[in-house]
Amino acid sequence: MSALTSEPAPAGRAPAVTEPPDPPAANKPRKKDNRTAFLMLAPALILLTTFVLVPLVYAWFVSFQRWSFYEPSVFVGLRNFRMVLADPTFRESIVRGLTFSAICVPVILVIAFCFANLVKTMGARMATVLKVSIYIPTVISGVIASIIFVLVYEYRQGLANYLLSFLGVADVPWLGSARTALYALTLPQIWLALGLASLIMLAGLLDIPESYYESAELEGANWFQRTVYITIPLLKNIILYLLVTTFVATIQQYELPLVMTDGGPTQSTLLPNLLIFQRFTSDLYPGYSIAAALLLFLVLGGLSAVIFRLINSEKAVDG
């Protein structure tokens, strides 16, 4: 019994009061389950702390130092950050990275959207073949993709100039000219990123109830109207997510320019991460490269936080 009970007592003595029983074991915190959960999370937490949190904290420490592998460090305050912000090469690399992203990201999103709509209309077997085909480039190393496209863009015997020769176009030095090199890098970047974006877009499309489209069809809505008023609004969070992740991945690209052009010709493909990599491997004092990496981290992290905050607020409104 959970209520307090009293037993009859002899005259002149207070009645004895029995204590309530302990709560059922099911209502107690399951300490054993909590310990199991922490043990399962421990490897990931150890790796995260060792390879992300500790290096990040140490990078902030080094960014305020005149630090070297061969000399004692000296505190210099914000000098490294001022050097980065005053460097025209860094500013130009940011503009170049934004240009590169402005070309790649919209093309990736548009093609992924069209591909996802195509797969949705296919039968099960054909849809599987298309999904596997579009995803294969995602698992290919960026170095291997770079070598493939170096051969494609070869000046005399490359596939690109061979195909253009049928149209009467003279050979184009795709990777040898400052006017075309950056644009030539956009094709392998789109090829590498398209698979994952397409499958995420397809998952979002399949999550939309078919009853919405059936109701719109009964009201006389055509394909364009159904896409504009049903598909795109319901895919808004997916599109925002892909916009952020694709932009961040694209502006941080360094494998393609490193292998294909090494930042040339005349620094026309020197993207921010490649500049940071080159400065880190060549400077005696890596404070500049670490400060540049942290500035890029702050900008991209702030942008991502704003976009994801918008996504979360939209989900809250949607209920």
Question: Within this chain, do residues 241 and 121 fall inside the same structural domain, yes or no?
Answer: yes
SS3 per-residue string spanning the chain: CCCCEEECCCCCCCCEEECCCCCCHHHCCCHHHHHHHHHHHHHHHHHHHHHHHHHHHHHHHHHCEECCCCCCCEECCCHHHHHHHHCHHHHHHHHHHHHHHHHHHHHHHHHHHHHHHHHHHCCHHHHHHHHHHHHHHHHCCHHHHHHHHHHHCCCCCCHHHHHHHCCCCCCCCCCCCCCCHHHHHHHHHHHHHHHHHHHHHHHHHHCCCHHHHHHHHHCCCCHHHHHHHHHHHHCHHHHHHHHHHHHHHHHCCCHHHHHHCCCCCCCCCCCHHHHHHHHHHHCCCCHHHHHHHHHHHHHHHHHHHHHHHHHHHHHHHHC
Is the pLDDT at 67 greater than 90? The verdict is no
Q: Which domain holds residue 305?
A: 52-86+283-319
Same domain flag for 264 and 118 = yes
Please indicate, yes or no, if residue 27 is contained in any of the structural domains.
Answer: no
Q: Are 117 and 250 in a shared domain?
A: yes
Residue 166 placed within a domain: yes
* pLDDT higher than 90, residue 293: yes
**How confident is the model over 144-203, as pLDDT tens digits?**
999 999 999 998 888 999 999 998 888 899 999 999 999 999 999 999 999 999 999 999
Number of domains the chain contains: 2
Confidence of residue 15 (pLDDT cuts 50, 70, 90): low
The yes-or-no verdict on residue 46 having pLDDT over 80 is yes
Whole-number average pLDDT of the chain = 86
In a domain, 5, yes or no: no
pLDDT 10s digits, 120-145: 888 889 989 999 999 999 999 899 99
Residue 68, domain member (yes or no)? yes
- Judgement on whether residues 219 and 148 belong to the same structural domain of the protein: yes
The verdict on residue 117 lying in a domain is: yes
> Looking at the domain assignment, is residue 61 inside a domain?
yes
5 vs 263: which has the higher pLDDT: 263
- State whether 256 and 294 are in the same domain: no
